[in-house]
Structure 1
């Protein structure tokens, strides 16, 4: 987590109870935005899964929602054209962390900011080639069978490599047989197709590799932009620190 300034919530205010959610470029963000978001969560179908409001976990939820809103506000200042680059896949959600992932999924402004900030990101072709050379492997022959066990119904099996078949079936296929027994039972099969293997082809593989590397590069660029912008432009208030800040009293995650 990037270091951020935290200021007191205000005279007489308890943790996170002031009128300000945080400051963006010195401009106060009203606390009522956070209160409305929390009220909506408490009234939603997910309410039963939320922590008790006054518990340590409940205060962490308040901090988490506050950071989501501040991320949305930060991205909205770009006034980027409305563009929807699509939902996050599971890998992207893990890479971003829950706060950024929630802001991205819930706010068009965050998705538009992503598109604008990362629109010029490219991947050098030599990086695509280097990745391919490191991971390219010949594709083995694969087999498609019709298989049944102990006289039961026939089921499709495959396409699989011979190494993925039960040992008795593999040995039988290699010998051109159609029946074999093992401790599991009596196997019967018919070979329906043999799909020849192939040597790797950079021309065939490059588009998918290029797309995956570009997506990863765009995620890194956006995450770095967010970290830098949060550190430079956001001021947090006492009680609404980042939930992962080790200095706040409800952070129980220790190493």
Structure 2
């Protein structure tokens, strides 16, 4: 091996050598996760070496695509992402189709707002007045004890409820408000759908662009293929 090391990869006009690869591995092994990394020469250690080669190639690709002008690799990645995905958009038809096809995501259960108190005996519960009740709580089914929940969800707004006994004691409450359940309208969830779908679309567009640039610019030496390549004899990630 020469002082410059053997070739690991070519990325555009730059090269990555075993000197850089060994240095990065040494840095990793001297870090906090070093003791947990596989040993050199083991099958897992060989795969780790391939992973680090992939990382170095990706970093070189970022520097190539940003003209080495970015102050950091994180900045380069963010700059490229913004540039590549600037024109990605999601149509109104796509947004509504997603809403329509996933109505179960927008189901809002009935909610009831109560103020309640719990006492140790029915006589003490009956003596509770409005000022003795706790702060207002807005609740859905499943958040109260069985018999008390049934009483709350069968009462009309403004009604006093109880005393009702549960394992916690004797409950009394006033029902203040009922918010009917149902499916949230499209207008109420459009912005959140748009944010989710646009993020996914931008991520896919960037992944596709990055894969195409890697195919065009990254040339790995034999032995440094992606660790998940199913053609490798020691591949462990197969579909």
Same fold (TM over 0.5): yes
Map Cα deviations across residues 135-155 of structure 1 (whole Å, 9 max, x no partner).
Answer: 34453332356779996xxx9
Q: Residue in 1 aligned with 2:209?
A: 225
- Pairing partner for 1:33 from 8, 20, 23: 20
Is the 1:148–1:187 contact (alpha carbons within 8 Å) kept by the matching residues of 2? no
- What is the distance in 2 between the residues matched to 1:246 and 1:134? 36
- What is the distance in 2 between the residues matched to 1:239 and 1:149? 71
Q: C-alpha displacement at 1:21, in angstroms? A: 2.1
Local SS of the residue matching 1:53: coil
Map Cα deviations across residues 57-97 of structure 1 (whole Å, 9 max, x no partner).
Answer: 1111111111122112112222177599xxxxxxxxxxxxx
What's the TM-score once normalised by structure 1's chain length?
0.69
How many residues were matched structurally? Answer: 214
- What is the distance in 2 between the residues matched to 1:248 and 1:157? 63
C-alpha change, 1:199 and 1:107, in structure 2 (3 Å) is closer
Q: Residue in 2 aligned with 1:3?
A: none
C-alpha change, 1:253 and 1:78, in structure 2 (3 Å) is closer
Matched, 1:252 2:231: no
Q: Residue in 1 aligned with 2:227?
A: 243
Q: C-alpha displacement at 1:161, in angstroms? A: 1.6
The CA RMSD measured in Å over matched residues stands at 3.5
- Pairing partner for 2:146 from 167, 177, 181: 167
- What is the distance in 1 between the residues matched to 2:136 and 2:57? 52
- Pairing partner for 2:198 from 188, 203, 214: 214
Q: Residue in 2 aligned with 1:139?
A: 108
- What is the distance in 1 between the residues matched to 2:179 and 2:71? 43
- What is the distance in 2 between the residues matched to 1:162 and 1:193? 16
C-alpha change, 1:214 and 1:195, in structure 2 (3 Å) is farther
- Pairing partner for 2:165 from 146, 160, 180: 180
- What is the distance in 2 between the residues matched to 1:42 and 1:206? 48
C-alpha change, 1:32 and 1:202, in structure 2 (3 Å) is same
Local SS of the residue matching 1:77: helix
Q: C-alpha displacement at 1:127, in angstroms? A: 0.9
- What is the distance in 1 between the residues matched to 2:23 and 2:232? 24
- Pairing partner for 2:11 from 24, 36, 43: 24
Local SS of the residue matching 2:78: helix
Is the 1:172–1:178 contact (alpha carbons within 8 Å) kept by the matching residues of 2? no
Larger Rg, first or second structure (1 or 2): 2
- More divergent stretch after superposition (156-165 vs 238-247): 156-165
Q: Residue in 1 aligned with 2:58?
A: 71
What's the TM-score once normalised by structure 2's chain length?
0.73
Q: Residue in 2 aligned with 1:94?
A: none
